[in-house]
């Protein structure tokens, strides 16, 4: 297993497949998704976990944040040019529970240029126990939450999804694990 920051766009297809596998409950517009991943790769904002030439995990993030990416209570109180937003953290189903997620997050945090970036944000569904536990173990704390109305899998009824915004400083006591 190797974990590294992608330097080119060659992993686009692998990342696309991984994304679809990890978020298969969402409806994907493949072209929009492809462009989103391609842009992240071009911006060097992707960390990859590779095993036997296959992407088994990835972390994607956003820099130069636009104010509307975050609730006003956050964007008004932070210098967004000094903030990073983790847009995706995903590990292939059969590779879960082997510290790949935490290794990706640790690698990402350890390589942040702390002279530029001071704060990291991430948004998590309040029922996503694996992700909630992982982020809290890594020193993220909840700041605020939003509620979104979604269509149920039956395609008819709706339900309310609560998403929590977590934050941590780029530096701090909890630097994750060493590996």
Ligand X SMILES: CC(C)(COP(=O)(O)OP(=O)(O)OC[C@H]1O[C@@H](n2cnc3c(N)ncnc32)[C@H](O)[C@@H]1OP(=O)(O)O)[C@@H](O)C(=O)NCCC(=O)NCCS
Q: Is 163 in the site for ligand X (CB under 6 A)?
A: no
Using CB under 6 A, pick the residue from 16, 80, 100, 109 that binds ligand X.
Answer: 100
Q: Is 59 in the site for ligand X (CB under 6 A)?
A: no
Which residues are CB-contacts of 80 (< 8 A; sequence separation ≥ 6)? 64, 65, 66, 67, 70
Q: Is 46 in the site for ligand X (CB under 6 A)?
A: no
The residue among 98 and 144 lying less far from ligand X, judged by its C-beta, is 98
Q: Is 39 in the site for ligand X (CB under 6 A)?
A: no
The angle formed by the CA atoms of residues 165, 112 and 12, to the nearest 5 degrees, is 80
Using CB under 6 A, pick the residue from 74, 90, 120, 164 that binds ligand X.
Answer: 90
Q: Is 22 in the site for ligand X (CB under 6 A)?
A: yes
The residue among 23 and 116 lying less far from ligand X, judged by its C-beta, is 23
| Shortest distance in whole angstroms from residue 136 CB to ligand X | 8
Q: Is 26 in the site for ligand X (CB under 6 A)?
A: no
Using CB under 6 A, pick the residue from 12, 96, 139, 169 that binds ligand X.
Answer: 96
DSSP three-state, residue 163: strand
Binding mask 114-133 for ligand X (x = CB under 6 A): ----------x---xxxx-x
| Shortest distance in whole angstroms from residue 49 CB to ligand X | 8
Which residues are CB-contacts of 98 (< 8 A; sequence separation ≥ 6)? none
DSSP H/E element including 50: strand 46-51
Q: Angle between the 30-42 and 12-22 helix axes, to the nearest 10 degrees? A: 120
Place of tokens 């462009």: 35
The angle formed by the CA atoms of residues 90, 91 and 92, to the nearest 5 degrees, is 125
Tokens of 103: 């290794």
Q: Is 18 in the site for ligand X (CB under 6 A)?
A: no
Tokens of 97: 């529970």
Residues that bind ligand X (CB under 6 A): 22, 89-91, 96-102, 124, 128-131, 133-134, 137
């Amino acid at each position: 297993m190797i974990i590294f920051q992608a330097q080119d766009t060659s992993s686009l297809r692998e990342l696309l497949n991984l994304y679809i596998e990890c978020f298969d409950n969402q409806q994907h517009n493949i072209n929009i998704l492809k462009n989103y991943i391609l842009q992240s790769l071009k911006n060097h904002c992707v960390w990859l976990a590779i095993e036997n030439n296959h992407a088994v995990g990835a972390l994607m993030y956003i820099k130069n944040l636009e104010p509307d990416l975050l609730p006003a209570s956050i964007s008004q109180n932070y210098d967004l040019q000094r903030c990073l937003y983790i847009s995706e953290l995903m590990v292939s189903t059969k590779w879960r529970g082997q510290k790949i997620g935490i290794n990706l997050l640790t690698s990402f945090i350890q390589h942040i240029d702390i002279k530029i970036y001071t704060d990291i944000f991430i948004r998590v569904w309040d029922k996503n126990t694996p992700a909630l536990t992982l982020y809290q173990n890594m020193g993220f704390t909840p700041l605020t939450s939003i509620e979104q109305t979604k269509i149920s899998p039956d395609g008819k009824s709706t339900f309310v999804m609560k998403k929590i915004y977590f934050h941590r400083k780029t530096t701090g006591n909890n630097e994750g694990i060493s590996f």
